[in-house]
Structure 1
Amino acid sequence: MSDRYVALGLARVRTPWFSDVSRWATSGQLAMDFVKTVSASEVRARLESGRPFSALLIDGGLPGVDRDLLELAREHGCAPIVVVDGSVRDWSTIGAADTLPTDFGRTELEAVLSEHATPIGRADDLPGQVESAGEHEGGFRARVVAVTGPGGTGRSVVAMAIAQGAATDPAHADTVVLADLALHADQAMLHDARDVIPGVLELVESHRSGAPSPEEVRALTFDIVTRRYRLLLGLRRHRDWTALRPRALRSALDGLRRSFTLVVADVDDDLEGESATGSADVEDRNLLARTATGAADVVVVVGNPGTKGAHSLLRVVRDCIASGVSPDRIVPVVNRAPRSRTARAEIGRTISELLAASNPGQPVLSPVFLPERKQLDDVLRDGVTLPDALVAPVSHAVRARLEAVDDRTPVLHADEPVLVEAGSLGAWDEEVAG
């Protein structure tokens, strides 16, 4: 039996081309099995069922056709082909392998399938993964600094300080963006933002169905004139994380990196995913933090002094390492640190010793100490520049780490395969092995 195409189909009710394709497949005029679906949810379920598909024929006028659906098809070796009615929308930028007009004929469909789809044959000759659109796009990409830490440590203010310090560099003049990617977004309050729209939701939504230009991305941010950086507002409500989709969010972050020279992301400290918890919902909830830290060149972990502060800071550092962040990319910061050099040395020694004990062979930099600023609330209320005593130490540390870390070094995620060196797993005990 010769190989045949197996295609999924989704279209609006009584769409002529949908009936034509079904007739061609049923009558044998087209060497293809055509599987009709009634919703985007069914398409996702069939793609994830394990059965291989050659192509996805989908009506471009449906509301559920977005980047996440098309790239999901690509990830499963299924070429997404969008049927459009003269729309000028650039479907290739969001993952479509090709497009067809609504009045296409059998010959046109065969030509597109021959170019982009793989026939389904024996079980040992299944279609491989189709390269994601834009996966290897060239061009400039900004460096990313993710700032995280437990609640109450001043993480958001430290992120502001890093953005302000970077913006003073002529190389980053008016091209630094502070992105609020926390579930409980506080940057709007800290900057006294009078508007709550646009924000991260609008940025992600714009990348679900297109590829905005750098000018369009910058238009979704606010200019913080006194500190010389731009601000991307965060979620308006905690529950809004349910509207985010992984591929659209990754594309949105890439859009920021194409539009600015430095992205400073204020993120939560919860990085747990499905592999650790068994819950896909937990991974989706933590999508903002996991995406930002996974793409970050440097991760700044903010903590407080004292026993509880050191314990919480160490927990977040370990979580970052467990999620795939290389230890040499982590910059610990102790906020509201005591002025005594002896006390600071003791804190630094304690953190280093505890990290060495729990993560041997994975040294982390010594912490940066930021002093307590009693007039900080007044500074935030007035919207003036942050004091240099707060900005300079952490900015210099981040700049030095960015220069030291090779941005070509891939960041390994916890859910990716890990190369195991020979002998690293130990050896069998002879008595146990028999």
Structure 2
Amino acid sequence: MTATERFVVLGLAHPRSAWFRDLGHWATSGVLPAEFVKCLSAEEVRARLGAGRSFSALVADATLPAVDRDLLGATRAAGCSALIVDDGRTPRDWLALGAAAVLAPSFNRDCLLAALTAHARPIARGEARSGSLTTGSEARAPTGWRCPVAVFAGPGGTGVSTASIALAQALGDDVRHAGLVCLADLRLHAEQAMLHDARDIVPSIQELVEAHRSGEPSAEEVRAQTFAVVERNYHLLLGLRQARFWAALRRRAFDATFDSLQRAYRVVICDTDADLEGEDDGGSVDVEERHVMARTATSRASVVFAVGLPSMKGVHALVRVMSEILAFGVPPGRIVPVVNFAPRSPRARAGLTAAVAELVAPAVARATPDTVESLSSPVFLIERKVDGDLHDGARLPAVLGAPLAGAFTAVVDRSAVGRQEAVPERVRPGSLGRWADPDPEAASGG
């Protein structure tokens, strides 16, 4: 550290916390080479982090409800380390949530200086922000195996939710998945609870996301937040109780929730909205946060089923949805058009296939200008009366789920999504044990 450098530290705690007062005294008296900026709320922390000034670290009190995964993620994204002062009353794995280190409430000046030296960087006077501590926009890098994901999207009234139920039932019957198939209702106006006649509306996606704000639930705890649909051999994760409750879903917490679902199940099937608009499209952060469920699921999808009807308007709406999915960044080979209430005539089906391919071709060309990748062939679902089956909680006709399961398996096998890859994993000091001391007799040959 040079003479023109010092640590610039943000503090977030109860105003009467002893360590909060001591830290300010150390900074003002000069015994700690730091500039201390007190914050009274998490919103003030976010505002200061987004103001363009560089900060070395955030020292936050673990007992505050606002100190969660999203605040730590925003801190890291701003190039600032997070140090948590934890008294141990609420056991949480702060390192897994994104903290750089954990301090006891009785820490002294030397302990804090050692933590700042190890995990933060000093700031020169007048220095602007140099960037994030992480590569990319996310602090989390998926490690290990994650299950494949199927996403269903389409205009209202096309049978999107029913098609997702049919696929969940077909994959649930497959013994290779061991019954670990999850159907997640990720629509703003959730309807799977109605289609399954769910008498209890909790737990739902809201409770599961809340659990990930300040923790890492195990696979068993994640499955406990779902309902077992015994007749169809899958688990159901209920959606939002009201569409306006999307504001309770923090982006990083939902991202961690989706990651936990992929680790807890063999297949995750998502019933989502077709609207993927984000900040880059309309300039609104609120709109992107409103669509966090659909955007997250689509970005991780192994297969995206775009559902439409065989009418003139139905084909037009189907092509529009497919074009938006392509513009979002999904490769054409992972998009499977689904024509519900399809005609039985081979000639009519061939005409629909040609029409969809011709109309969506410009969007494919814009999405993949340097490669030639074709869309999957459409899946045609014939008309079946399923209202009675849904009302009685009975199984849907197998003829609806079989073609969807075949298309899902073909796309996953072709793209090799969901297979385990060798990726780096963070190792904590001391978690791997230590090398044993060599045997002196063996070393001497005795």
TM-score normalized by structure 1? 0.91
Q: Say whether the 8 Å CA contact 1:120–1:126 is kept in structure 2.
A: no
Aligned pair count?
A: 408
Cα offsets for 1:102-161 (capped at 9, x unmatched): 111000001111111111127779554234997235332111111111110100011111
The AA in structure 2 aligned to 1:3 is E
Q: Which one of 86, 89, 98 corresponds to residue 101 of structure 2?
A: 98
Query: Shift of the alpha carbon at 1:362?
Result: 5.0
The AA in structure 1 aligned to 2:301 is A
SS in 2 for 1:270: coil
Please say which of residues 192-201 and 353-362 is displaced more in the overlay.
353-362
Check if 1:369 corresponds to 2:393.
no
SS in 2 for 1:4: strand
Check if 1:382 corresponds to 2:387.
no
Q: Which one of 416, 421, 435 corresponds to residue 406 of structure 1?
A: 416
Going from structure 1 to structure 2, the CA distance change for 1:158 and 1:28 (only over 3 Å counts) comes to same
Q: Say whether the 8 Å CA contact 2:146–2:418 is kept in structure 1.
A: no
Q: For 1:265-280, what aligned pairs fall within 5 Å after superposition?
A: 265-280=270-285
Query: Shift of the alpha carbon at 1:390?
Result: 0.7
SS in 2 for 1:275: helix
The AA in structure 2 aligned to 1:109 is L
Please say which of residues 84-93 and 155-164 is displaced more in the overlay.
84-93
The AA in structure 1 aligned to 2:397 is P
Q: Which one of 253, 261, 270 corresponds to residue 258 of structure 2?
A: 253
The AA in structure 2 aligned to 1:372 is E
Looking at structure 1, the residues matched to 37 and 125 of structure 2 have their Cα atoms a distance apart, in angstroms, of 19
Cα offsets for 1:3-62 (capped at 9, x unmatched): 211111111021111111111111111111111111110001111111111100111111
Q: Provide the identity percentage.
A: 51
- Which residue pairs with 2:123 in the alignment? 120
Q: Say whether the 8 Å CA contact 2:73–2:139 is kept in structure 1.
A: no
The AA in structure 1 aligned to 2:380 is F
Q: For 1:37-76, what aligned pairs fall within 5 Å after superposition?
A: 37-76=39-78
Looking at structure 1, the residues matched to 119 and 312 of structure 2 have their Cα atoms a distance apart, in angstroms, of 59
The AA in structure 2 aligned to 1:177 is C
Looking at structure 1, the residues matched to 160 and 288 of structure 2 have their Cα atoms a distance apart, in angstroms, of 22
Check if 1:209 corresponds to 2:209.
no
Query: Shift of the alpha carbon at 1:89?
Result: 2.1
Query: Shift of the alpha carbon at 1:162?
Result: 1.2
SS in 1 for 2:58: strand
- Which residue pairs with 1:169 in the alignment? 174
Looking at structure 2, the residues matched to 190 and 248 of structure 1 have their Cα atoms a distance apart, in angstroms, of 27
Check if 1:191 corresponds to 2:196.
yes
The AA in structure 1 aligned to 2:9 is A
Going from structure 1 to structure 2, the CA distance change for 1:355 and 1:134 (only over 3 Å counts) comes to closer
Instruction: Give the unaligned 5+ runs of structure 1.
Output: 410-434
Instruction: Give the unaligned 5+ runs of structure 2.
Output: 366-371, 420-446
Query: Shift of the alpha carbon at 1:166?
Result: 1.1
Cα offsets for 1:229-281 (capped at 9, x unmatched): 00000001111101111000000000101111110010000000111111111
Q: Say whether the 8 Å CA contact 1:10–1:36 is kept in structure 2.
A: yes
Query: Shift of the alpha carbon at 1:357?
Result: 3.7
SS in 2 for 1:20: helix
- Which residue pairs with 2:298 in the alignment? 293
SS in 2 for 1:318: helix
